[in-house]
Structure formats: structure tokens, C-alpha cells
Structure 1
Amino acid sequence: MMEDDNVNEVRVGVIGLGNMGKGHIGYMLENKVKGLELTAVADKSQAAREWAEQNLPAETTFFTDPYELIASPLIDAVLICTPHYSHPELAIACFEKNKHVLIEKPAGVYTKQIREMNEAAAKSDVVFAIMYNQRTNPLYQKLKELIDSGELGEIRRTNWIITNWFRSQSYYDSGTWRATWGGEGSGVLLNQVIHQLDLWQWTIGMMPKRLRAFCYFGKHRQIEVENEVTAYAEYENGATGIFVTTTAEAPGTNRFEIAGTKGKIVIEDGKLTFSRLRVSEPEFNESFKGGFGSPECWTFEVPIKGEYPDHRGITQNWINAILHNEPLLAPGAEGIKGVMLANAMLLSTWEDNWIELDFDEEHYWNQLKKRIETSNYKEEVIHGV
């Protein structure tokens, strides 16, 4: 919370005026987040300065150096919308200046740097959140509620086919940093489906014990990084999971299926369908004495209530946490989980083997550095390379 409980507004600075930064600023200027005042922005490009002069109030201060914004007394909190590699380093600088932080996804590129960020956050006294906006979707909130309450029983299997993140070659060609190891450090796993990787573990409430993945790099596209992935996961309780994604398929599919001991839930086409067993599978199996048979099952669509505030919802929750100590929907420290899944999938492919989820983070970073060294993107970015 703010040191002065009488303060009813948080002065926010935005670092990075790319598509995401401008998008967040849009709803801020429309006063769609209560308790937020945009006081400063930072970006090194001349084009960003010109955009700011044309679109922002005259009293909004423009910085070309993000660290000057972070140190400025004009702000209480920072929204970081810069390239992936820079997220942890900028966040740590904010923590050192006692500034609240909301970072865009992903939390970083590799877990070693994210862990350092989380450790720095834990030593500070600020509110740290991540822009996992899909956690505000009432569809996934209802799924999590059903699983947490025990309605589905023990999780036995998950299967997510998420292939509707289509990206054309022209999209990749729109920036020299796009889809490069040096510029983004990954492809579909960190750029697009990081949302689903987060929801995968958040809704079911557990991370895999180990996984085996097959990533394809530049399949059907002229890019360096992965754009098609199939992964198989195993969990401590014996459950299994499949995760399939690509950016080169049209039309795409978004189908999340979760099977438990009390039935099955499917999310697809904006609907949540619950096939609920009257008697759990273990109980039926123990008592049934016939040859063929299965538990009685009722299938119905679960009503989904509430709005989907998307990015604005996460920003409002962050501001409420600062001003009123509201619990965070997407704590920044949890950003490491989705990146851990992505890193494990890439490492599994590179080493053609199973990867435990407690893999050597330094080893992964060394493997990634080899690919950065041969990347087509050579411009220096904020990650020490």
C-alpha cells in the first residue's frame, strides 16, 4: 500500500511506447482505471517522442532514459512495456527506488533472470504484478473455481490445443527484432501462448514434474525461433497433459480439456461445458461388477457471469492493491511459472530428452546464449549480452 493511507491516486510512468505501451495509455487517458494518474513516459526513439507530443497531455513528462523515469519523484509506480529481455532489469531498478511495478508478459526470457527479479521484489516493500490479462476472463476464473472447489475431483488429464495465434510472414518481417533469439529470445512460447502456459498451471493448480517437447523452428516461416510445439507433461499425482500450439495454422483451434475423477470440462468457442459424473470414476470402478458400463454422466453448459476487463482489469487490480491492499490476481512472482514451462520445452527439444521442471537454470541460459550469438538480430538489448 501507499505510505500515506490518505492518498487516493497513484502516479504512473509507462516505459516503452510500442503497441502495448500505447494500448495501455489509451485506456488510462480515457480514465478507465480509477485511482491512476499518468504522469510520465519513457522511450528512446524520436518517433515515440513525436507520438507523445501529439497524443499525451502537455503535463506528461517524456524521458529518453528509462532509469531517469524510474528515479523521478514524479511517479509512484511503473508499467514496463519494453522488449522481453529488459523486463527483469528494469523491474529490479524500480524495486531499488521503491517504485511499484506492473510488467508486461513475459516476466523475462529465462528463469535465471526472473528468479533474480523475484528475489529483489521480495526484499522490497512494493506491489509487483504481471500483465496476465487472461486471468481476468470469467471463463477461466470459473474453471479455476470449479477445480479448486473439488467439483471435478482429482485432475487426471489435460489437453490444450491452442493454434489460433496465426502470424503471417509479413508480421514477422515488420521488425528486425521479431522472432529472433537476440531480439525476443523465443517465439510462440513466450510471445503468444505464454498466456495459455500461465492459465494451464493457474487453473489446475499444479506444475508438471517433467515434460518432453518437440519444438519446430521456422516451420513454414522464415524465422529463427520456434513456431510449432507439441509437449507431453507428467505430474506428481500421475496426471498427464498435452499442449499443442503453432502460429502457422488457419483456421486455428482453442480447446482446453480437463478430465478429473468426477467428470470432464471442455472450454471452446467461449463456452464451458461440464460432463459431470453422478458417481466418481474410482467409486464406480470399485463397485461395478458388470462387463461393460460407465458412470452416469450429465453434460451441461455452465453459465459464465461477469465482464472481461482484459488488460484494464489487471491494471485496476494493481492500482487497488497499491491503494487499498486488494489481493493481486496476477502477482509478479508467478510470472516465472509460464516461462519455466517454455524454457523446459525448448531445452527438451535442444537436448532431445525429458526435462525435469527443476532443471539447471544456468545451463539453460548458456544454451540460449549460443543461439543469441548466431542470431540475425545484433542490436544490443538490456540483458548483458
Structure 2
Amino acid sequence: MDKVRIGLIGVGNMGKGHTEYLVGNQVKGAELTAIVDTDASRLDWVRTNYGDKNIQLFDDLDAFFASKAFDAVIVATPHYDHPESAKQAFSHGYHVLVEKPAGVYTKQVREMNEAAAKSGKAFGIMYNQRTNPLYQKLRDLITSGELGEVRRTNWIITNWYRSQSYYDSGGWRATWAGEGGGVLINQDPHQLDLWQWTIDMMPKRVRAFCGFGKYRNIEVEDDVTAYVEYENGATGLFVTTTGEAPGTNRFEVSGDRGKIVIEDNKLTFWRLRVPEPEFNREYKGGFGSPECWKCDVPIVGAPGPGHKGITQNFVNHILNGTPLLAPGEEGIKGLTLSNAMHLSSWIDNWVDLPINEDLYYEKLQERIQSSTVKKEVKAVEMDVKGTH
């Protein structure tokens, strides 16, 4: 194989973006050969803009899979549909690149991961922020031991401002049945992934406080403060909202060799000349602290190639065996964090990880039943209107 033929499931907001860079030959070794969507107007958009590109169009998912017009699929449907579409693709022998989030609840994502493993096909997730050199450098400084043992993480990500008119633009927006959550499931999947990926560590338990419709007339969370604890004794804080202006995006990680901060697209390393435990053990002068150097770490290429970078890596993996930057199986990690935050707030208590998936599903179903959008999770049809 010298080229990967790609079929696109869903051509909403995200699907259109994938269409544009694939048709524009911005991913070497990839060719967009088929698109499926149940919305006729979306297919008309493809015909109008790319009618000369020999892309096969389908309005039926079964016919799409049966066509064998592609080797791999990109799943760009609404959240609830991601795992089911991926599982169908695996069952038909296709490689899968799924949009984030991996799903809405970990139980369905675990089933998707099992189907991927059984299929033996390539499986990636569109965690495009992993291509950002800022976060790659942070991960390198931590996993290489340069920062020492992690002691504290603190991410304030409040620059997701959304007005009421945004939520009013679609009846499915910000509903338990339509999207499965609010700021955690819609805006924050990248940060929740990077939070654990950069430090290479998941918490052991979570205590969260969610405001549901705190700033907007919606039923899901629009304000979250979560505290986590790690096995090594480190702690973490995650603060997010869509109702604050101006917002902040500041990620700080402290270790026993200093502190690293990412803010305003810059990475700053306050590096201790002597590790804090060593200084504390040897210093006898009473008041005092370790010598510290402020280092502005040069970052080349930020913010990175984004979506097409992940797609290029996925294609390279299929063609050449290049390691995946964002393996699909890892999508469950960030989702576990958001599920844990929801569940902690619902039961007003700590939640241990791994979470009780059955309890989470039960509590989610209760909210779906009273949702303003009357749908059963398993009956949600593909409706690619875009979710971001």
C-alpha cells in the first residue's frame, strides 16, 4: 500500500475541516474517497465545493461500509455516536481515527477499545493538541526527570467563553441527551488529555464541584473546580468555565526540581540548582531557599500542525509503522477524568479511579430521562451539526 484511502463519517463543522485539508492534499499518502452523512444539505455542500474530486457520497452507513471504497475512516459524528461508529468500522475491517471525545461515558469507550484490539487495525484519536511543541516539551521535561518528581499540577482553563446565543443555536446543545455534558465533554477534552499525558500520570481519586447552568440557561455543567490526588502524594487542581471573561489558560506543574508554567504560548521553567529535598536535607541556615534560575525555554513550531498533523501521523502509522502520537485506546483516560468529575458532583463525594462505570451510567441515564432533548443514548441518530 502506498496510499491510504479515507472515508469520512459525518461532514459537520469538524468533518468539513477534515474534508478541506484532505482534498487539498495536505496529508501525504492520504486520499479522501468517500463521505457518509444522513443530512442531505451536508452532502450538497460536498457536491457544490468538491464535485470534481471523485468522492463517493452516501446517505446510509451500511452502504458506506459495504462499498469498500476506503481503507480507513475518520469518525466526525456527535459524541454519543463515536464508539458505535468506530465499532462498526472495525467489524468491517477498517482502520479508525475517531474525533474527540472518545465517547460520553467510559463503559461505551471501553467496548470500543476492546473492538479495536480484537480487530488488529490501526486506532487513533484526534487529540491534535499533542502535536503542539509546547506540550511535547513539557512532557519531555517531566518524563525525562528534568523537573524531578511531580508534586502539584494546576490548570486554570477559563477562556472557553460561550454566550447564551451559542447554546440557543441548537436544541441539542448543552443537554444530557444531546451532548452528554457541558464544558468538560465539549470544550475541555484536549486539556483533560494533556493534563494526564504531559505528566504521564492519572489521579487515584477526584473531588469535584460542578455548577450546572450556573451562568447560562442550560442543564449541563458550565463551571467546574476539581481537586485530585495522585499515588505519589502529589495533588492537582483543574478549574474551567464557559461563563467567565476575560478567561485564563495557565498550566503549572511543580516538581522537586522546580516549576514549569505554560501561559500565553510560552513555556517558562523555574529550575532549582539543587533539588528541594537535597537542599532541605543539607541547609542549616534557618531562613533560605534553593537557588533558582528562570529559564525561558525556546519552543519552535507552536502551535503545531493540529488536526492534519494527527491525520498525517495516523496515515504514516498505517503505511510505515510510525508510532501513533495519540493512540485511540488512550481516549478513555481524559474521559475518565470528566466522568469522575461529573460523578463526584452528583454524589457529593470523592470518586476513586477507576470509576464505577455502572454507577456513572445509571446517574447519566437519570439525567437523560429528564433532559430537554428526549432521546435514549443508544437511539441517538447520526446528526452531524458540529458540536464545538
TM-score (norm 1): 0.96
> Which position in structure 2 is the counterpart of 1:55?
49
1:12 maps to which of 6, 14, 17: 6
Q: Summarize the alignment of residues 262-301 of structure 1 with structure 2, pairs less than 5 Å apart.
A: 262-301=257-296
Is 1:186 matched up with 2:176?
Answer: no
Q: How does 1:40-119 map to 2 (within 5 A)?
A: 40-58=34-52, 59-119=54-114
The number of equivalent residue pairs is: 379
Cα deviation for residue 47 of structure 1 reads 1.1
Task: Give me the TM-score of the superposition, normalised by structure 2.
Answer: 0.96
Give the equivalent residue in structure 1 for 2:385.
Answer: none
Q: 1:209 to 1:103 in 2, by over 3 A?
A: same
Distance 2:363 2:376 in 1: 19
Displacement of 1:326 after TM fit? Answer: 0.5
C-alpha displacement of 1:70: 2.2
8 Å contact kept, 1:85–1:383: no
Give ranges in structure 1 of 5+ residues lacking alignment. Answer: 1-6
Report SS of the residue matched to 1:228. Answer: strand
Matches within 5 A, 1:369-380: 369-379=365-375
Q: How does 1:113-132 map to 2 (within 5 A)?
A: 113-132=108-127
The amino acid that maps onto 2:13 is N
- Cα root mean square deviation, aligned: 1.2
- 1:366 aligns with one of 354, 362, 366: 362
Aligned pair in 2 of structure 1 residues 257, 236: CA closer, same or farther (>3 Å)?
A: same
Q: Name the SS for the 1:89 alignment partner.
A: helix
Partner in structure 1 of residue 305 of structure 2: 309
What's the CA shift for 1:305? 1.7
Q: Deviations over 1:12-57 (max 9, x none)?
A: 1111111000011111111100111111101111211211210123
- Match of residue 35 from structure 1: 29
Q: Is 1:145 aligned to residue 140 of structure 2?
A: yes
Q: Does 1:159 align with 2:122?
A: no
In structure 2, distance between residues paired with 1:71 and 1:215: 44
Q: CA deviation at 1:384?
A: 7.1
Q: Which whole-Å CA distance do the structure 2 matches of 1:20 and 1:187 have between them?
A: 18
Q: Assess, with a 3 A threshold, how the Cα gap between structure 1 residues 178 and 166 changes in structure 2: closer, same or farther.
A: same
Counterparts of 1:269 and 1:68, CA distance in 2? 47
3-state SS of paired residue (2:101): coil
Query: Aligned equivalents of 1:19 and 1:67: distance in 2?
Result: 23
Mapped to 1, the partners of 2:51 and 2:41 lie a distance apart of: 17
Check conservation: 2:96, 2:122, Cα contact below 8 A: yes
Measured after TM superposition, the shift of residue 119 of structure 1 is 0.6
Amino acid of the residue matched to residue 337 of structure 1?
Answer: K
> Is residue 219 from structure 1 mapped to residue 214 from structure 2 by the alignment?
yes
Kept in 1, the 8 Å contact 2:9–2:73? The answer is yes
SS of 1:95's equivalent in the other structure is helix
- Displacement of 1:222 in angstroms is 0.9
Task: Provide the residue aligned with 2:336 in structure 1.
Answer: 340
CA distance, structure 1, for counterparts of residue 279 and residue 307 of structure 2: 44
**Alpha-carbon separation, structure 2, partners of 1:199 and 1:146:** 14
The offset of 1:362, in angstroms, is 1.0
More displaced stretch, 300-309 vs 214-223: 300-309
Is this contact kept in 2: 1:89–1:382, CA < 8 A?
no
Instruction: Show structure 2 runs of 5+ residues with no match.
Output: 382-388
> Equivalent residue of 2:260, what SS?
strand
Per-residue CA deviation, residues 124-164 of structure 1 (Å, 9 max, x unaligned), is: 12110000000000000000010011000000000000001
